[in-house]
Amino acid sequence: MRFGFHISMSGGFSKILDRATIRGCETIQFFSRNPRGWKYGSLDHDEVEIFRRSIQSSSISPLFLHLPYLPNVASKESKFYNRSIDSIVIDLERAAQLGAHYLIIHIGHRMDSSEDEAIEAVAWAINQVFDRVKNPVTLLLENTSGQGTEIGYEFNQIKKIIERVEQRDRIGICLDIAHAFEAGYDLSKKDGIEKTLESFDKTIGMKRLHLLHLNDSKTLLGSRKDRHWHIGEGHIGLEGFRHLINHPLLKHLPGIMETPRKDTVEDLKNMKVIKSLVE
């Protein structure tokens, strides 16, 4: 398994490689713009070229772009629904410009919509995006913890979304380990991991799984509360991660950590811990 972190783009894309190298990243995830706002400027061509050349000169691969937090395509009643579709379009285009292989999106909150309405809304939005953007970037749906009115916390919900997508060859899954645990899939034990992967394969298909978000959970199994924690220090624990990263169905995948950080120290600690579990 290739390990990495979500890397800050603060100060420009030119800072990403140094930050990734310090942390010992073999793969990375990053934003293309402010993750907590709607406003954005055009990408600087020269900066993008410098970034692409620096990454190509390294061994870091694959690259994952993450959509900002505000877009929500799970409710057509939201006044931001169309703006959210536009946002995915922009980042799907930016992913190709930046040389990223994948764009990760949160499935979203249904708000006052029913589950079926939300599933239809997400699929309709993805179809609109794919009609507007033709490039080789794969769109990854990230499973949720089920907090509040989130959908996408059950594999069957994700399956229903994919079934309604017309260009299904362009879509895949990012499985967030903490979110799955918080949604009720017990990934802290070997037998729970086997049952979860069997369910995933039967419902969605392992061929659609392209990335693991390796986050421990600060909250209990089935809590439906999204709280990431340091590897081995949460309720999934060291043995859960040991079984996960060495599992024959998973060990070929990249694993990105989104563990809490104040500075580099926490990332170095988490990288050391996860690598110590490799068998």
Catalytic residue among 6, 179, 208, 227: 179
Residue 233 among the catalytic residues: no
Which is catalytic among the residues 94, 208, 228, 243?
Answer: 228
The catalytic position among 44, 69, 77, 163 is 69
201 noted as active-site residue: no
Known catalytic residue: 235?
A: no
Catalytic residue among 91, 182, 226, 267: 226
User: Is 176 marked active-site?
Assistant: yes
What sections of 134-189 are H helices per DSSP? Answer: 155-163, 177-182
DSSP conformation class of 72:
-
- Select from 187, 106, 170, 192 the least CA-distant residue to 143: 106
- For residue 250, give the nearest of 168, 140, 175 by alpha carbon: 175
Active-site residue 230, yes or no? no
Q: Three-state DSSP class for 150?
A: strand
Maximum Cα interatomic distance, the chain, rounded to a whole number of Å: 50
DSSP 201-222: HHHT-GGGEEEEE--EESS-TT
Of 213, 227, 235, 243, the active-site residue reads 213
Instruction: Catalytic residue, from 91, 150, 154, 176: name it.
Output: 176
Catalytic residue among 6, 23, 101, 106: 106
Question: 278: helix, coil or strand?
Answer: coil
- Residue positions counted in the chain: 279
E strand residue ranges, the chain:
2-6, 27-30, 63-66, 102-106, 138-142, 171-176, 209-213, 216-217, 228-229, 254-257
Catalytic residue among 19, 101, 110, 142: 142
Active site residue 210: no
258 is catalytic: yes
Based on the residue annotation, tell me whether 279 is a catalytic residue of this protein: no
| Coil vs helix vs strand at 263 | coil
Question: Has 45 been annotated as catalytic?
Answer: no
Q: Which of 6, 19, 23, 66 is catalytic?
A: 66
CA distance 183 to 125: 24
Catalytic residues: 36, 66, 69, 106, 142, 176, 179, 213, 226, 228, 258
